[in-house]
Amino acid sequence: MNILSVVPNEKTIYVAGGCFWGVEAYFKQIAGILSTEVGYANGKTEYPTYEAVCHENTGHAETVKLVYDSHRIALEEIILHLLRIIDPTSLNKQGGDVGTQYRTGVYYEEEADKAKVERLFKAVDPNHTFVVEVLPLEQFFDAETYHQDYLDKNPTGYCHVQLHKAKEPLLGLPEYVKEDAEALRQRIGDEAFEITQHEDTERPFTGEYDDHFERGIYVDVVSGEPLFLSTHKYNSGCGWPAFSRPIVANAVTYERDNSLSRERIEVRSAHGDSHLGHVFPDGRPDMGGLRYCINSKSLRFVKAEDMETEGYGHLIPLLDEEA
């Protein structure tokens, strides 16, 4: 189900990951990406052709321009997607493509983006093995028309990217084996069981996380999968914890809910399939306009200082992103 921001906040980043056909096709599937365009970036010549980039020393990298809604997807999430479809330790080679035009890179227009990318790289690559360029955008030239949306027009065309990964969970998930109903009830309690498994709702202003704003992450009480960041939480006055968006776009799924007199959009955890709450278009405009109204009993809070020991250390850089 398509959940749109009420107040989009457009930003732009440029990513290089080998042949731009597959990179573009992958990112077109990601929620929050508003538009894509392929082209040639940070080279030595003006208005290069594809033939020149491939066979002459132009210095350009095959690059995809991504315009995204920062209220729906953070730059850090985009970079995590890039890292899953490239080999960040391979210099000038991705898949079967070899040459400087196939180098990997992140090219930014805003200086603040550099620190975000480098902080994330440091967290996921503590041994500094990445050879991904992180540089300001010097120039970007549109590729020829036939290259734009190439795999849409040529579905059997060459692609070095595993496009199906766009639909798979982005974040590393804790090992989870679904318990039988009685064992789960015993572990999480009656109220949490009825909420997560039978779509019950806790009474407003009674949940422990309604007025809770400590730094950390909120995970599914059933499966342990990460769902929300404290930096996206705000006081909506509705009586339940309110978030502007999930930790990453595919952390949750959506279902139509007609159980009341009006249609609502139910929010469920993607991995554990727990009922979490609902999402409404009446949130804070400066945070995207959405209100993820979530039951406290569906969640477990992990403090920032405990994230490393509990297996969520790789997500700490996400806490530093702008809300």
pLDDT at residue number 321: 60
The pTM score is: 0.88
State yes or no: is 293 an active-site residue. Answer: yes
Helix, strand or coil, per DSSP, at residue 144: coil
Q: Which residues of the chain have pLDDT under 70?
A: 1-5, 321-323
pLDDT at residue number 143: 97
205-239 pLDDT per residue, tens: 999 999 999 999 999 999 999 999 999 999 999 99
Q: Strands across the sheet with 61-69, in order?
A: 133-136, 104-108, 10-17, 61-69, 33-41, 140-142
Cα 86 from Cα 76, distance rounded (Å):
16
41-94 pLDDT per residue, tens: 999 999 999 999 999 999 999 999 999 999 989 999 999 999 999 999 999 999
pLDDT at residue number 263: 87
pLDDT at residue number 4: 64
Cα 33 from Cα 118, distance rounded (Å):
21
CATH 3.30.1060.10 domain range(s) in the chain: 10-167
What's the CATH fold of domain 181-320? 2.170.150
- Which one from 19, 54, 159, 238 is the annotated catalytic residue? 19
pLDDT at residue number 192: 98
Which alpha helices (DSSP H) does the chain contain, by range?
Answer: 20-27, 50-55, 75-85, 111-124, 150-153, 181-188, 190-198
Q: Which CATH class is domain 10-167?
A: alpha beta
CATH 2.170.150.20 domain range(s) in the chain: 181-320
Smallest CA-to-CA distance from 92 within 121, 127, 50, 61 is with 61
Cα 276 from Cα 295, distance rounded (Å):
6
- Which one from 54, 159, 238, 293 is the annotated catalytic residue? 293
Torsion of the alpha carbons at 185, 190, 192 and 194, rounded to the nearest 10: 90
State yes or no: is 54 an active-site residue. Answer: no
Residues 6+ apart with CB under 8 A from 127: none
pLDDT at residue number 323: 44
